[in-house]
Structure 1
C-alpha cells in the first residue's frame, strides 16, 4: 500500500536512516514487525527491559506514514473528553486522557535519550470553535477538562483577537502539548534500541506468522525468524493475522511553507486546530516554516489527476491565508498521506484474541504518535504480566 505521495518535508531533515542487517539469532525474545513510529517507540521501551529484540521492516525504517506525519503531539483527541465519557464511561475516559497526558512526558524522555536533536518542544495548543454553533460544545469540553485537572484555559473572541490576526468565536488552550520532527524521533528511538543490541532487518517482507506452543515463527522474504513474542506495529497497512476494525481509510493533505523571517504574528508558537470535521491543523518548525494539514476525505476518493490535487493544496493555502491575511503563504513542500481510524476513534493495542504470542500496537487516528507511546508501555505491561488501566479500553476485540 502506498501511504503517501508528493514532496515530503521531513525527509529533507535526515541524512541517513538505514541500519545494517545483523546476524540473525536462533531465537529472539520479541520481534517487532514494522519500523515506523509505533515500532520505534515500542523498541525504545522494550530495549530498556533487556529483551533480545529484532525489528522487521518491509521497506526502510521511517519510510511509511511517519515521513508524512506533521508532528503535533497533544493529549486532547479527535474525540473530546466529554464525548468519550458518554461513550465508554467516566472512569475509563478520564484514565485514557490521563494516559495521553503522561505519554507526552514519556515522549520527552525518548527525545532526551536520542543521540541527535529531534526538535522536541513543549507547546500550548489553541483549539478554536469553527462556528458559533460549536461554542457550547467547546465550553462543555473546557468544563470536563478543568473538572479532571487537565491544564486548560477558556478564551473568548476578544482573547483570540488580542493575540492572533484572526477572529474566532471562542477557543480552549491546552497546556503541556508538544511538537517534534517525527522522522528524526522515529530514527532516534530505533537507533537507541539498535545500540542496545536490537537487530534491524529492512527490506524484509513478512509473509506469515505461525503461532506455535512455545514460540512463533515469522516467515519472511529473507527466511524464518523464531521469537517468543511478536508485536505487530504495521500502522495503516494490513496487520498480519488480524482484521483491525477500521473505518474507511482516509487521506489528508499537508503543506510546508517556505521559511518566514518574522513570525511575531503567531502567538507563543502555539499549535492550532479547530472543531470543524475534517479539521485544519497547523504548527511551526524550527526553521520558521508553517506546516498545515487537513481537508481529509475517504481514501477511495483519492484524487487521480494532478490538477485536482493541486486544487486541494490551493484550498489548504487559502485557509491559511484567511487566518493570516497579511502574510505571504508560499508552500515549498506538498504531500498527500493515508491514515486510518478505528470505529470508536481509539487505537487498537493488546494481545491477539486467539494467538498467545502475538500482540498489536496499531495507533489509529489523528493522535497516532501519542497513542503509540502509551501503547508501547501497555504492550510492555502485558508481556511482563503487569496491570495496565488501558488494557480493557484498547484491547483488540472490544
Structure 2
C-alpha cells in the first residue's frame, strides 16, 4: 500500500545520529510541519537540526489528500460562536495566508510540484441549514464564498458552499526540494526531553538545543501539556482511480459516511470511510470505497489505495505554540484535524515568528494554552469515556476466543498460552503473538483487519502485526509473547 505521492518521489537517505551534538534549534519530526518550520528558520539564518524516528516525509504527510485550503469542513460558524469574530478572523487569515506562502516558496525555489488553483467545496446531499450558517459566517469574515446547488459530482447535492481560489499540489515533490539543504538525521528516535533542554534518543544519544520544536504529528511527551487528554485520532481511507471523472475542484461531504474528491493528473482521489482509530476490527473500509467507486464510475480502475490518520482536538482548532506554560523553550505543532497541509504552513509561520521574536497577528487562536470548557466539554467527555472503557477492558475483559477461532489472514484477541494475547495468523498459518496493552498508556489495542495492524482507540498509537511501532504517540514497540 502506497500513496500516489509516494510512488513518484524518492528522498535521499540521511544518516542516523551517531554521537552527542549541540545545536541552536532542534525540530523533532521530518514531516510537512517540521520541515517547513526548519526551512523558515534556516532561511532566517538560524542553525537548525531535524531528526526523525524513521525517514523524511514517511509519516502522515505522504498519506494526505494534499488540499491547501482555508475551508476546513464547517468551522467558521462554530469558531465565531465559541471565540468570537476576532478568533474566527485569525483562523481564516492564517490559513488563507498559508496558501499564498506556499505559492511564494514554490516560485522562489522554482519547485515543480503540480501546484494548481482550485475552488474548494463542502457539500450535503440532504441538508443545507449548516451550509447556510457557514456561508453567513464566511461573509462576516470577508471570505470569497458562494452557495451553489449544482456541482461536478456523480450525484445530486442539496447544496454546496464554495470557497474560491484555493489550491492543491504534490506534497512530496514540494518537500523534496525544500528539505535538500536542511540538516536531517533519520532513524533517530526521541524518547525524552530533559530539564536542561536536551533530547535523549533511543540509542542514548543526547542533543542539546536552545529551542526544541515537537512536530511529531501526535506529541510523544505526556507531561507537561497533557495532549493525550485533549486529542484523539481518526483514520480515513483513499483510492486513486483511473478512468474516473474530472470534478474540477476539491470536495468534502459533511453528511455521515460522505466522500471526498479531487483530481491529480489523470487520477481521481476518492476518499471516505472515516472512523476513530481502533474501530476497524472487521475491516471493509476499502471495500466500502470500492463499492461506491464502481457505482459512481463503473469503468474506473484502482491504481493506488492508502489511509491517513489525523489528530482531532477538543474544539477542532490546532495546538500551535509553547508546549506548556512551564516550557518556554519547547514548542508544539499538533491537532491539524484533516487539514495538515495548510495548517503545517500556519504552524511554521507561527513558531518561526515566536522564535525569531516577530509579531504575529493570528497566533492567539491556535495557542495550546486556550481552553474553552463550554466548547470542549462534550468532546472531552466522549474521549474520556472511550479511554476509560479501553483502559479497564485491558485489565478485566477475558477473551472468549481461542487461537483456533482466528482465520488465516486475520487477527484478534484470544486466550493464548494462558494469557490475553493479540494474535495474527498469516496465510500459511504462522502465528504472530503480541501484548494487547498499548505501550503508550496501556489501553487495550484493537485489530485493524484492512491494514493488519494493532490500533489504539484511546490515543491512536499503531503497531504492525509483529508488534513494531508504526505511529505516535507511542515511540515503543509491543512485547512479543
TM-score where L is the length of structure 2? 0.71
Q: Which residue is equivalent to 2:220? A: 238
- How far, CA to CA, are the matches of 2:199 and 2:154 in structure 1? 55
RMSD: 2.3
Q: Give the stretch that moved more between structures: 368-377 or 218-227.
A: 218-227
Cα–Cα, structure 1 residues 148 and 391, in superposed 2: closer, same or farther, change >3 Å?
closer
- How far, CA to CA, are the matches of 1:68 and 1:81 in structure 2? 26
Deviation at 1:74, TM superposition (A): 1.3
Deviation at 1:221, TM superposition (A): 3.4
Matches within 5 A, 1:162-241: 163-191=152-180, 195=181, 198-212=182-196, 216-222=197-203, 223-236=205-218, 238-239=220-221, 241=223
**Which protein, 1 or 2, shows the higher relative CO under an 8 Å CA cutoff with sep ≥ 6?**
1
Cα–Cα, structure 1 residues 363 and 276, in superposed 2: closer, same or farther, change >3 Å?
same
Q: Which residue is equivalent to 1:28? A: 23
Q: Which residue is equivalent to 1:292? A: 270
Alignment equivalent of 1:88, drawn from 83, 86, 105: 83
Alignment equivalent of 1:60, drawn from 35, 55, 58: 55
| Unpaired segments ≥5 residues, structure 2 | 371-481
Q: Deviations over 1:375-394 (max 9, x none)?
A: 11111121122232333222
Q: Which residue is equivalent to 1:151? A: 144
Cα–Cα, structure 1 residues 27 and 89, in superposed 2: closer, same or farther, change >3 Å?
same
Cα–Cα, structure 1 residues 239 and 112, in superposed 2: closer, same or farther, change >3 Å?
farther
Cα–Cα, structure 1 residues 14 and 115, in superposed 2: closer, same or farther, change >3 Å?
farther
Deviation at 1:87, TM superposition (A): 1.5
- How far, CA to CA, are the matches of 1:203 and 1:11 in structure 2? 19
- How far, CA to CA, are the matches of 1:127 and 1:167 in structure 2? 13
Q: Deviations over 1:211-260 (max 9, x none)?
A: 33xxx211123511111100110003634754324443211111112x33
Deviation at 1:114, TM superposition (A): 4.4
- How far, CA to CA, are the matches of 2:209 and 2:222 in structure 1? 16
Larger Rg: 2
Alignment equivalent of 1:367, drawn from 315, 319, 339: 339
- How far, CA to CA, are the matches of 2:343 and 2:257 in structure 1? 20
Deviation at 1:115, TM superposition (A): 5.8
| Unpaired segments ≥5 residues, structure 1 | 1-5
Deviation at 1:175, TM superposition (A): 1.0
* Count of paired positions: 366
Cα–Cα, structure 1 residues 205 and 370, in superposed 2: closer, same or farther, change >3 Å?
same
Deviation at 1:94, TM superposition (A): 1.7
- How far, CA to CA, are the matches of 1:94 and 1:277 in structure 2? 28
Q: Deviations over 1:87-144 (max 9, x none)?
A: 211111122112111111112223334464222111111221231xx21211221222
Deviation at 1:58, TM superposition (A): 0.6
**Does residue 312 of structure 1 match 2:312?**
no
Deviation at 1:351, TM superposition (A): 1.1
- How far, CA to CA, are the matches of 1:24 and 1:39 in structure 2? 22
| Greater helix fraction, Structure 1 or Structure 2 | 1
Deviation at 1:187, TM superposition (A): 2.9
Cα–Cα, structure 1 residues 110 and 318, in superposed 2: closer, same or farther, change >3 Å?
farther
Alignment equivalent of 2:252, drawn from 268, 273, 278: 273
The answer to whether the Cα contact below 8 Å between 2:246 and 2:268 also exists between their aligned partners in 1 is no
